[in-house]
Amino acid sequence: MYYIDPHIHMVSRTTDDYETLARMGCVAISEPAFWAGYDRGSAGGFRDYFVQLTEVEPKRAADYGIEHFTWLCINAKEAENVQLSRDVLSLIPEFLDCPNVLGIGEIGLNKNTPNESVIFQEHVELAIYHDQQILIHTPHLEDKYQGTRMILDMLADHPRLEPSRVLVDHVEEHTVREVLDAGYWAGMTLYPVTKCTPARAVDIIETVGAARLCVNSAGDWGPSKPTAVPDLIFEMRKRGHRESLIKDIVFNNPRTFFSQSKNFRIADPEAR
Amino acid sequence: MKSSKQILDREFLELRSKLLDLAASLDRIDRAEGSVAADQRMRLLAEGIRIIGNQSPQRAYQIQQLFSRQFDPQWKQKFNLPTRN
């Protein structure tokens, strides 16, 4: 089955992974800007990273027939440094017209601090000003519930923000309903230990339905599996779910969400 | 949608294995030097095991809440974060 991985960090993956993804049916990916595993020392480091996301990765992906899209921001962890964050925010507009940029992301919270909250709000204002979609990271483990509630609080401060143009990512059993009930899209990340397993993600789909719900691998430099979305497809088939429902989750839903960006174009491979 | 019996048939051995893994991990902690009896994480694990044994629905949701920090609805005032609308 053809699928889209709506959240994967290919700058941290090998070219062999691109080939594996293509062989597994991946036709498009979206790569949010994130924490590199260390704190960068200057805004210049982020400029170089944004060039990598908008020029280098699309070429690597294209070699394997995969469309590459991206989102720009300073991530929640480095957002603790407010001055650096504002320097990076000032760089972002010059990249927004690059042909593979879908919006602002993955912004969010990490340890749910005042500084992170201030920079989150400034990112949202930047997105609204430039009419961009938003992709949001929710915190890990014990911080997730509190951070998700804080994020929903802050988003509600912006009446001009269309919930249908925002995806709140890394939802789990205790956060998915509040995100969907507020009108946002929700993403489930399939991680071996710290987020959803494919089995639990399918449980959530069975519980809340498939509307406005996506799944991703969030493959990066840490413990993660870039082929996690095919694992979910396999789990859904084992449970006897309809192929049309599986396709909604792994292809139609991300395509519908991304299509709200002027830069997203992809044909259904089955219609070729 | 499969029946409860079909799901139990499919997952019984996996569930048995997960229970054994959990029991063996706790045994491993007990065999090691020192004591973690006062460690807050042990209390959380014990409470999680109690939730699993309950007949109530949404056990996964309850365990997620057990391991979560509380949300304070007054957090913006405490952070002195201005409302932006």
pLDDT of residue B57: 86
Count of structural domains within chain B: 1
Task: For chain A, give the mean pLDDT.
Answer: 97
- Sheet strands side by side (includes A213-216): A3-5, A26-32, A67-72, A101-108, A133-137, A166-168, A185-189, A213-216
Q: pLDDT tens, A38-88? A: 999 999 999 999 999 999 999 999 999 999 999 999 999 999 999 999 999
pLDDT of residue B85: 60
pLDDT at A204 over 70: yes
Domain membership flag for residue B33: yes
pLDDT at B33 over 80: yes
Domain holding B30, by residue range, is: 4-66
Test A158 with B81 for CB contact under 8 angstroms. Answer: no
Mutate to test the interface with A, among B1, B6, B64 (most CBs of A within 10 A): B64
Test B71 with A174 for CB contact under 8 angstroms. Answer: no
ipTM score here? 0.92
Test B67 with A142 for CB contact under 8 angstroms. Answer: yes
Tokens of A33: 């800007």
Chain B residues within 8 A of A125 when measuring between CB atoms: 84
pLDDT of residue A119: 98
Residue A152, min C-alpha distance to chain B (Å):
11
Based on DSSP, count helices (H) and strands (E) in chain B, helices before strands: 4, 0
Task: For chain B, give the mean pLDDT.
Answer: 94
The percent of residues in chain B predicted with pLDDT above 90, rounded, is 88
- List, in sequence order, every residue forming a beta bridge with B49; answer none if it has no partner: none
pLDDT tier at A176 (50, 70, 90 boundaries)?
very high
Tokens of B47: 């409470």
Q: Tokens 């779910």 label which residue?
A: A241
Domain membership flag for residue B24: yes
Bond prior to A106 in cis (omega within 30° of 0): yes
pLDDT at B2 over 90: no
CB A7 within 8 A of CB A189: yes
Q: DSSP states of A10-60 as a string?
A: GGGS-HHHHHHHHHHTEEEEEEE----SS--SSHHHHHHHHHIIIIIHHHH
Chain B residues within 8 A of A123 when measuring between CB atoms: none
d(CA A50, CA A105): 12
pLDDT of residue A137: 98
pLDDT tier at B82 (50, 70, 90 boundaries)?
confident
Residue A75 has a CB neighbour count (10 Å cut-off) of 23
pLDDT of residue A104: 98
How buried is residue A157: exposed, middle or buried, by Cβ count under 10 Å (0-12/13-18/19+)?
middle
How many inter-chain contacts (A to B, CB under 8 Å) are there? 53
Chain B residues within 8 A of A117 when measuring between CB atoms: 79, 81
pLDDT of residue A170: 98
Chain B residues within 8 A of A197 when measuring between CB atoms: none
Which of B44-61 are b and which e, b meaning 16 or more Cβ less than 10 Å from the residue's Cβ?
Answer: ebeebeebeeeeeeeebb
Q: pLDDT tens, A211-255? A: 999 999 999 999 999 999 999 999 999 999 999 999 999 999 999
CATH of domain A3-271: 3.20.20.140
Q: Tokens 């699928």 label which residue?
A: A3
| Positive or negative: CA dihedral B61, B66, B71, B72 | positive
Closest chain A residue to the Cα of B69, Cα to Cα: A142
Mean pLDDT on A138-143: 96
pLDDT at B53 over 70: yes
Test A114 with B67 for CB contact under 8 angstroms. Answer: no
pLDDT of residue B56: 87
Test B64 with A172 for CB contact under 8 angstroms. Answer: yes
Residue B29, min C-alpha distance to chain A (Å):
20
Mean pLDDT on A136-153: 97
Q: Is B81 an interface residue toward A (CB < 8 Å)?
A: yes
- Most distant CA pair in chain B, distance: 58
Closest chain B residue to the Cα of A124, Cα to Cα: B84
Q: Say which DSSP state A196 is in.
A: B
Based on DSSP, count helices (H) and strands (E) in chain A, helices before strands: 11, 8
pLDDT of residue A14: 97
Residue B63, min C-alpha distance to chain A (Å):
9
- List, in sequence order, every residue forming a beta bridge with A187; answer none if it has no partner: A214
Closest chain A residue to the Cα of B82, Cα to Cα: A118
pLDDT of residue A125: 98
